[in-house]
């Protein structure tokens, strides 16, 4: 039977992975929702206007939206399907993306209801990463009466062998 920690990490990985595949796909194509896609296009135009350094670097609103959408889809697929350490790397990348998204929302002055999802999913990504990175529990060492007595005798003999220096 899998441990509760394993089940929690797996459930968070799949749920978060599917969410980011969905959200990244909305940023990349209007096939899922034309309204949401158009809203994303409008929002990313505002982000590039609020941060003129992006224009100087040659990053347009379209390129920024496609970069973030691609990172979300790729990392979401890894979190959903790939076992092992790559999930933690994808988790970290998505966490950085969420921090960037929160920064953009703050930059343009969006109300909390516009970016609450990014805040919640950033917290979930942090929790998943912390739970996944915890070391495995070590089984407690059983100490028998005989073993404890032997350890005490060894420590007593070591104490007797020490010289006192004054």
| Most confident segment among 46-60, 63-77, 146-160 | 63-77
Phi, psi of 78 (to 5 degrees): -60, -45
Q: What is the per-residue pLDDT across 55-64, written as a single tens digit (0 to 9) for each?
A: 889 999 999 9
Mean pLDDT of 119-148: 77
For the chain, the domains span 4-136
Provide the pLDDT for residue 6.
87
Q: Is the distance from CB of 54 to CB of 48 less than 8 angstroms?
A: yes
Q: Is the pLDDT of residue 137 over 80?
A: no
Distance (Å, rounded) from C-alpha 61 to C-alpha 133?
Answer: 35
Q: What is the per-residue pLDDT across 81-108, written as a single tens digit (0 to 9) for each?
A: 998 899 999 999 999 999 999 999 999 9
Q: Is the distance from CB of 38 to CB of 27 less than 8 angstroms?
A: no
| Cα 79 to chain centroid, rounded | 10
For residue 155 the two structure tokens come to 């420590």
């Amino acid at each position: 039977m899998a441990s509760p920690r394993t089940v929690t990490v797996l459930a968070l990985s799949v749920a978060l992975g599917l969410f980011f595949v969905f959200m990244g796909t909305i940023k990349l194509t209007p096939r899922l929702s034309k309204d949401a896609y158009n809203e994303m296009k409008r929002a990313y135009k505002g982000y590039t206007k609020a941060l003129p350094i992006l224009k100087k670097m040659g990053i347009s609103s379209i390129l920024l939206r496609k970069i973030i959408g691609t990172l979300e889809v790729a990392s979401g697929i890894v979190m959903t399907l790939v076992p092992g350490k790559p999930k933690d790397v994808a988790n970290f990348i998505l966490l950085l993306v969420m921090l960037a998204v929160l920064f953009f929302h703050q930059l343009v002055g969006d109300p909390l209801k516009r970016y609450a999802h990014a805040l919640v999913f950033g917290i979930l990504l942090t929790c998943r990463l912390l739970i996944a990175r915890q070391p495995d529990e070590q089984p407690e060492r059983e100490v028998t009466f005989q073993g404890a007595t032997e350890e005490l005798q060894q420590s007593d003999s070591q104490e007797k062998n020490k010289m006192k220096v004054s």
